[in-house]
């Protein structure tokens, strides 16, 4: 699949916004700690990915009813669904000068019914002429995502037999329908009803 930048200017994928608030002190503190453990952009990106995947609980897996969506809140509460964790990882990467985009999948739930769109990111590391998608959702039985630059290791590859979709657009900011769903939900059960099932 060819990934398509929504915005041609690469600087858009380094910018801060209300969800990817990488100037916030909580984000900056995490960036400093990650930089202390890494030597270059590649090791920083891999370490930041593992940090978000493994130390921030996916709220559905953890049974947490809170809805965090701003990167700084996700890092402060150590809680969030896939979109929130993607915002946090994008903030950590952008703060370190690594372009990061938000991207989405339309996936089905167990019975084959459309579920809420799934959020992940794509990164553009120095010296690479392409974007690489990464999924920081968090692993559990049946989900085994990993940081990879040599073939995608996502939580869920799409299944054509269920008409699942990899959306090719790389967004510089959260998709408006996703952001609206996150911002308007009072708790996670309501969030499943407010998030879009397609873009």
pLDDT in tens, 76-103: 999 999 999 999 999 999 999 999 999 9
Sign of CA dihedral 70, 72, 76, 81: positive
Please provide the DSSP assignment of 33-89 as one string.
HHHHT-SSHHHHHHHHHHHHHHHSEEHHHHT------SHHHHHHHTEE-HHHHHHHH
Phi, psi dihedrals of residue 84, rounded to the nearest 5°: -65, -40
pLDDT digit string (tens) for 7-44? 999 999 999 999 999 999 999 999 999 999 999 999 99
Q: Are strands 100-106 and 165-166 parallel, antiparallel or unpaired?
A: antiparallel
pLDDT digit string (tens) for 100-148? 999 999 999 877 889 999 999 999 999 999 999 999 999 999 999 999 9
Q: Tell me the whole-structure pTM to 2 decimals.
A: 0.97
**Which residues does residue 121 pair with via DSSP β-bridges, in sequence order?**
102, 134
Rounded Cα distance, 66 and 130, in Å: 35
């Amino acid at each position: 699949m060819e990934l398509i930048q929504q915005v041609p200017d690469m600087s858009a994928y380094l910018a801060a916004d209300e969800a990817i608030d990488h100037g916030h002190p909580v984000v900056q503190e995490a960036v400093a700690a990650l930089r202390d453990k890494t030597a270059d952009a590649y090791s920083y990106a891999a370490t930041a990915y593992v940090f978000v995947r493994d130390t921030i609980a996916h709220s559905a897996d953890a049974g947490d009813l809170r809805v965090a969506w701003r990167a700084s809140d996700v890092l402060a509460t150590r809680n969030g669904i896939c979109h929130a964790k993607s915002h946090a990882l994008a903030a950590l990467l952008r703060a370190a000068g690594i372009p990061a985009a938000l991207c989405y999948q339309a996936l089905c739930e167990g019975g084959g019914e459309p579920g809420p769109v799934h959020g992940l990111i794509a990164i553009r590391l120095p010296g690479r002429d392409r974007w690489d998608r990464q999924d920081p959702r968090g692993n559990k039985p049946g989900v085994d995502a990993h940081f990879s630059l040599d073939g995608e290791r996502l939580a869920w590859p799409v299944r054509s037999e269920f008409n699942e979709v990899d959306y090719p657009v790389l967004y510089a900011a959260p998709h408006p329908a996703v952001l609206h769903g996150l911002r308007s939900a009072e708790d996670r059960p309501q969030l499943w009803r407010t998030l879009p099932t397609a873009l």
